Amino acid sequence: MKTYDNFFLPVSNLAQAKDYYQNILGLSLKFDFSDKGMIAFNVGNEEPAIILKDINRFPEAKPTIWFVVENVELEYERLLDKGVNFLGVPHKIGTGNAVEFEDLYCNRFGIADYIK
């Protein structure tokens, strides 16, 4: 795991959450994919963003931390061999590949690469 990628937070009202994060907290909008159920905000000059996920679109969403790895497929195989509880198999995202897993305490994490 090289660094943090993004922090996902579930919300029940995307428009209301957008207003709160943008106008109350003062975070700058990184992207608005409301039509896909996600909005991202920058935190200062950091690359990792806070990405809000609409639970009406993603009912399984829960707070999730993603990490950047060199290659999701290879890291997936390495962690799978160690017994990591993956929630699916690696899949394509806009920047490369990703997959999520839960630790022993049901905390959710993900790994992503930028090999697109």
Task: Specify the pLDDT at position 14.
Answer: 97
> CB of 79 within 8 A of CB of 34?
no
pLDDT, one tens digit per residue, over 36-87 is: 999 999 999 999 999 999 999 999 999 999 999 999 999 999 999 999 999 9
* pLDDT exceeds 90 at position 116: no
To which H or E segment does residue 5 belong?
strand 3-11
Average pLDDT, the chain: 96
Torsion of CA 113, 114, 115, 116, to 10 degrees: 120
Q: Counting runs of H as helices and runs of E as strands, what totals does the chain give? A: 2, 9
pLDDT category of residue 19 using cuts at 50, 70 and 90: very high
Instruction: Tell me the C-alpha distance between 1 and 38, whole Å.
Output: 24
pTM of the shown model: 0.91
Share of the chain above pLDDT 90, in %: 96
Instruction: Tell me the C-alpha distance between 91 and 96, whole Å.
Output: 8
Q: What domains sit in the chain, N to C, each tagged with a CATH number?
A: 1-64 (3.10.180.10), 69-116 (3.30.720)
